[in-house]
Structure 1
Amino acid sequence: MNNEAILREFLDYTQFVRGCRPKTADAYAIDMKVWQTFCRNDYPQMDNPSKAKMVVDYIRYLRVDRKNGSSAVQRKLATLSAFIDYLILMEIITPKQDERKKWPKLLDTPERLPVVLENKEIQQILTQPDTTTILGRRDRAILTLIYSVGLRVSEICSLQLRNVHWEEKRILIQGKGGRERYVPLDSIVEDVIKDYLTSRTSTISELFVSKKGGALTSRAIQFMVKKYAARAGIDKKVTPHKLRHTCATHLCKKALI
C-alpha cells in the first residue's frame, strides 16, 4: 500500500475534503514520507498498513533508527491511522482487515521532566536584587510573589495597589478571562511589598512601576527573572513559569510531609 498515487490522493483528501489547515496537511505529508521510507526498506509489498506486526516494527524503526520520542511516535501513528481510515472509506481495504485494535499501547510519559528549582537555588535568585535601590526592592517583591504565591506574569503586571488588602491579609488577583481570586498575603510577601512601597513615588494605579514610570510589561519580568538566575549561576533555563511550577511543586511536597 505504498502506492504514490494513493498517498497523493490521501493528502489531497486531508486538505480539500477534511479541510485540514495547511500546517496540518504538511505534517501529514512529512509523516507519510517517513512511513514510505520504512515500507520501502522493510515492507515493500505491504497491502494493509494496519497490520499489527508491521506497526510494531514501525515503532521500533521510529524509536531506534530515527531516535523519535513518544510524542513524535504518537503523531506518526495518528497519521497512519488517518490513512487507514481513508483506505477503508475508499474501499481499498475492508473494515474486517483493520487490525488497529491489536496495536501496542504506548506509554504516555513526558519526554522531558519540567524544570524544578531546589530551595537553595530559589534563595540564590531571591538574594540577587540590590535592595539598596528601589528597582532592586521592586524586583525582590516580584520574585517573591511569583515563587511564594505562584502568580502569573500577566497577573503581576495588572496587579493594582488597591488589590492588596493589608488588614485581611490577602491579595485580589485578576486572572485569566476576568476571573478573580484571592491569594494569601503572608508575612514574607507583606514585608517585601511594604519595603518596596516605602520608596515608591509613582501615582499610577499599578503596584509595580517600570524604570520609566509606567506599568511593567511581561517581557520586562521575563528578562528580569532570566537576569537574576544567570547572576545566581544557575545553569537551568529559568523562566517565570518555571518559578510558578516550582512554587506548586514545593507546596505539594509540604502537604505530603
Structure 2
Amino acid sequence: MNSESTIQDFLEFAQMVRGCRPKTAEAYAIDLKVWKTFCSVHCPQVDNPSKAKVVVDYIRYLRVERKNASAAIGRKLATLSAFVDFLILMELLDSKMDEREKWPKLLDTPERLPVVLDNKEMQSILAMPDTTTILGRRDRTILTLIYSAGLRVSEVCSLKTTDINRKDGRILISGKGGRERYVPLDPTVDEAIQEYLSSRSSSIPELFVSKKGGALTPRAIQFMVKKYAEDAQIDKQVTPHKLRHTCATHLLQEGAHLVSIQKLLGHKSLTTTQIYLHITIADLKELSKHHPMHKMRAQLGLMGNPVQSFQSPYGTKTGT
C-alpha cells in the first residue's frame, strides 16, 4: 500500500485527475517520502495509513525526530489524508477502515511577530549591490522589485521580459496556484530593469539570468539576499519572504488599505493578509496619541500626570 508504484499512481492522479499544480504534486511527493521513511523504521507492516494509533506515532516521530512544528505536521497529515482518499477511491482500502475521525487535533502554535526591516535597514540592503557590474545591477533590480511589489521569490524567478509593460506601467505576475495578477511598475524598478537589460546578453525568456546563463533559481536569490544583509551588518535573519513582509508592513504603516495590500500580494483571502501583517508596538503607541481621550484631558482635569492630578470625589480609598 505504501509501495513506490502506488505513491506514483497517486501523484499522477493528483495532477491528471484532480488538476493539482506541479509544485503541489512535488510537495505531496516530499511528504510521502517522509511517511515511507517513518513506516520503514517504525511500522513496516502497516496496511492502513489512516489507522489512528499509527498516525499518533507518526506525529510523535515528526515532532521528536524531525523537529517539525505544528504547521509542517499539519501539511504532512493533509497529504496523508489525500493519499487515504485515493486508496479508498481505487478500492485499495475499505472505507469502513477509515479512522481519520480519530486523528488527534493539533493545537495552534503561538504566533511570533515576523521579522520586518525598518527604513534604514532596507536602504542599507538596497545600497549593497555593486551596480558597476551586471550581477550587481541584476541584484539591485531584484531587491527593489521585491520591496516595491512584495513579490514571492518564485514569482521573481518566473518573471519573463515580456511580462514588463512599460506603456501601462504594470507587471504581469504568475502567482501561487496559477493565479495571475498585475502589480504597478514603480519608476525606480523600471529604471533598474532598463539599466539591467541594457547590459544583459542572454536570449532566454526569463528576466533574471544566473551567472551561468540560465534562469535564476529561488535558492540563488535566497543566498543573495542573505549575503547583502550580512554585508549591511543587519543583525536579523533576512530572507526574500521577509523583504516581501517588509513591503506590506511599510505600506500599512503609510496608510495603505488592507484590501489594496491583499491585491498587491496576491492573497486569495483577506484573512491571510490580516494574519500576515502586524502592527508594531510603536505604531500602537503613535495611534494612541490620536485617541479622543487626549482631547478630554483638560475637561477631566488631567493636564499633568494623570495619577497625581486626579482626585477622587470619594476621598482616600482605604479598602476593597
Partner of 1:206: 206
The aligned residue for residue 25 of structure 1 is: 57
Distance 2:119 2:151 in 1: 18
2:259 matched residue in structure 1: none
In structure 1, C-alpha distance between the alignment counterparts of 2:111 and 2:220, rounded to whole Å: 30
Q: Give the Cα separation in 2 of the matches to 1:109 and 1:22.
A: 23
Equivalent-residue separation in structure 1 for 2:206 and 2:175 (angstroms): 15
Q: Does structure 1 retain, via aligned residues, the 8 Å contact 2:115–2:236?
A: yes
How many Å separate the matches in 2 of 1:180 and 1:238?
A: 27
Indicate if the aligned counterparts of 2:155 and 2:174 stay in contact, CA closer than 8 A.
yes
Question: Is the 8 Å Cα contact of residues 131 and 137 (structure 2) preserved in structure 1?
Answer: yes
SS at match of 1:222: helix
Distance in structure 1 (CA, Å) of the matches to 2:228 and 2:169: 28
- The structural deviation recorded for 1:18 is 5.7
State the 1:20 CA deviation: 3.9
In the alignment, the residues of structure 2 paired with residue 226 and residue 154 of structure 1 have an alpha-carbon distance, to the nearest angstrom, of: 16
Against the structure 1 CA distance between its residues 245 and 29, is the aligned structure 2 distance closer, same or farther, given a 3 Å change threshold? Answer: closer
Q: CA deviation at 1:28?
A: 5.8
Determine the C-alpha separation between the residues in 2 that align with 1:236 and 1:24.
36
The answer for the alignment partner of 2:125 in structure 1 is 125
Stretches of structure 1 lacking an aligned partner (at least 5 in a row): 1-14, 32-70, 76-105
Aligned counterpart, 1:116: 116
Offset at residue 19 of structure 1 (A): 2.2
Partner of 2:220: 220
Q: Which runs of 5+ in 2 are unaligned?
A: 1-46, 64-69, 75-106, 257-286, 288-320
Amino acid at match of 2:185: L
The one of the two structures with greater contact order (alpha-carbon pairs below 8 A, sep at least 6) is 1
Deviations 1:72-124 (A, max 9, x none): xxx9xxxxxxxxxxxxxxxxxxxxxxxxxxxxxx9x78442110100100000
> How far did 1:253 drift?
0.8
Residue number in structure 2 paired with 1:55 = none
Please report the TM-score for the alignment, with normalisation by the length of structure 2: 0.49
Q: CA deviation at 1:181?
A: 0.4
In structure 1, the residue corresponding to 2:155 is in which secondary structure? helix
Amino acid paired to 1:150? G
- AA matched with 1:255: G
| SS at 2:201 equivalent | coil
Count of residues in correspondence between the two structures: 173
Give the CA deviation at 1:30. Answer: 11
Q: How far apart are residue 197 of structure 1 and its match?
A: 1.0
Answer yes or no: is the 8 Å Cα contact 2:148–2:186 preserved in 1: no
Rounded to whole Å, the distance in 1 between the matches of 2:219 and 2:163 is 23
The answer to whether the Cα contact below 8 Å between 2:163 and 2:171 also exists between their aligned partners in 1 is yes
Q: CA deviation at 1:25?
A: 2.7
Q: Report the Cα distance in structure 1 between the residues aligned to 2:148 and 2:56, rounded to whole angstroms.
A: 40
How far has the Cα of 1:27 moved from its partner? Answer: 3.8
Change (3 A) 1:24 1:222: farther
Aligned equivalent of 1:235 = 235
* In 2, Cα distance between equivalents of 1:249 and 1:223: 23
**In 2, Cα distance between equivalents of 1:234 and 1:128:** 12
Residue equivalent to 1:172: 172
Per the alignment, residue 3 of structure 1 pairs with: none
Q: In the TM superposition, what are the counterparts of 1:80-229 in structure 2 within 5 Å?
A: 110-229=110-229
Cα 1:144–1:19 change in 2 (3 A) is same
TM-superposed CA distance for 1:29, in Å, is 9.2
CA distance in 2: counterparts of 1:158 and 1:220, whole angstroms: 13
Cα distance per residue 1:198-249 (max 9 Å; x no partner): 1011111001111011100010000000000000000100000111011110
| 1:26 Cα deviation from its structure 2 partner | 4.5
- Letter of the 1:19 partner, please give it: K
CA RMSD of aligned residues (A): 3.0
Give the superposition deviation at 1:23: 5.8
State the identity %. 65
